[in-house]
Structure 1
C-alpha cells in the first residue's frame, strides 16, 4: 500500500506528500501534535500492543484533530470459512483463529481508545452494514477464501479434503447469500477528537 501510494502521489499535483512505513505502536520519529487526521482502518485487532498504537495516535494528533478507528463486528469470511470447515469436518473443526477477537465488541475498542488518551465525551460510534451483492465482488471474496490466505483454516487436511475446499467455500457463500441477500459485513467506526 505504501509503494502504491508513493507511485500514485508522485504523479499527483499534490504538494509535499511523504509516504513512510512505520510501526503504529511506536511513532517516535513523528513529533507530538503533528497530524490533523489519523485513520486506523481495520487493523487494531492485528496489533500485539493495541493500546500503544492508540496512545501514539493520540500523541501525534493535533488538538482538535480527528482519529478514525474502524473495526469489524461481523467479518463474513471468518463465518463462511468456518461453515466450509464444518462441511469437511462436521463437529471437529475449530473456527479459523482471528487475532484479538475481543475487538468484535465495540466496548473493548472504546475502552482502549479512552485508555489511549481520548475523552469519552469526544468519541462517537457509527455502525455500518455492508452487503456485497454484485457478482464480481462475490467472486473475488470467494477466491480470497479459497486461496492461500486461508491456508491456516485447512491445516492438517488430507489431499482429498484440500480438493473439496473450494467447492465447500462456494457452497457456504451461496448459503450466506441466501440468508442475508449477499455477503454481509458489519463494522463499527469510532470517531475520536483530541
Structure 2
C-alpha cells in the first residue's frame, strides 16, 4: 500500500491532542508525589551520597531528594540522572541548572548502563521499572545491582492499583461494540507486590534484603471536567484506533468516567471544581 493510499487515522473532534504538554498535564505532580512516598521508606540521604536517578524524566525524583536534605548535605552529594529519552534528559539538565542541583543528566539505556561497577550509594527508579525496560525490568535491575556499592540502597516503585483503569474500561464497554477495551492496560501484573520483589531478586539481590511496603498517595488532578477529558483522550483509544462512533459517544464515555471515578476509594471533590485521586503504591527497597 502506498503512503497516499494508506487510510488516515481518525481523531474525535473533542479529543485533546496527545502532546508532551498534554501528558504532563495529565500526570500533574504525580511523579513528585510518588517519589516522596517512596523516599520516606529509606533513611535520610547522608552526606557524601552518590545517587543514580534512573529513568529520571524531567527530574521528579531529584526534586524530592533535593527538598529532603539540609543545605550542608546538599553541598556534599552528587546525583546522576539518566534516561533513554534525549528530550527528557534535556529537560532534566535545564531543571538542574535552574535549580542549582549538584546533578548531571545523561542519555542512557537502563538495560545497559555505562557506569563502572560499584559507583553509587543509592539507585532510585521512580515510575521507571514498570514502563520502559525490557524483560520486565530484570536486565535493568541487574545493571542497578552492578553499579551499586556494597551496602548500597535500591529504591523502586510501581502502582499497586490504578484507580482510573476500571472507569476507563467501563466507559469503553458501555460505548463500543463487543465491549472493546482500551489499548492501555495499566500494567496489571505489577499490582501483586510479589511480582516486583521477584524481579529484583532475579536481578541479583538477595531475597532477605528485599522489602516491599504498600503505601498510597493522593494526586490533585486539577479541574475535574478537564482532567477526565484528558484521561479519555490519552488513555481511552483502543488498539484499532479511534472511530467515528467514539466521536458520537464521546460525551457519554467521559460522563461514565466522571461518575465511576467518584465511586473510587479516597476520591475527594473540592468546592473549586478540582479533585483528588488516591493511588495505591508498592515501594521496594533492597540492600546490596
Same fold (TM over 0.5): yes
TM-score (normalised: structure 1): 0.83
Task: Identify which range, 90-99 or 2-11, moves more after superposition.
Answer: 90-99
5+ residue gaps in structure 2?
1-57, 59-88, 268-276
Give the total of aligned pairs: 190
Give the gaps of 5 or more residues in structure 1.
none
The 5 A counterparts of 1:1-194 are: 1=58, 2-15=89-102, 17-27=103-113, 29-46=114-131, 47-49=133-135, 50-89=137-176, 92-94=179-181, 96-98=183-185, 101-132=188-219, 134=220, 136=222, 138-139=224-225, 141-147=227-233, 149-150=234-235, 152-153=237-238, 155-182=240-267, 183-194=277-288
The structure with the greater share of residues assigned to helix is 1
Alignment RMSD: 2.5
Q: Distance in 2 between matches of 1:70 and 1:160?
A: 38
Larger RCO, structure (CA 8 Å, separation 6 or more): 1
The answer to whether the Cα contact below 8 Å between 2:205 and 2:286 also exists between their aligned partners in 1 is yes
The answer (yes or no) to whether the contact 1:154–1:162 under 8 Å persists in 2 is no
Q: Is the 8 A contact 1:86 1:92 kept in 2?
A: yes
* CA displacement at 1:96 relative to structure 2: 3.4
- Alignment TM-score, normalising by the size of structure 2: 0.58
Q: Residues 105 and 137 from structure 1, CA distance in 2 versus in 1: closer, same or farther, beyond 3 angstroms?
A: farther
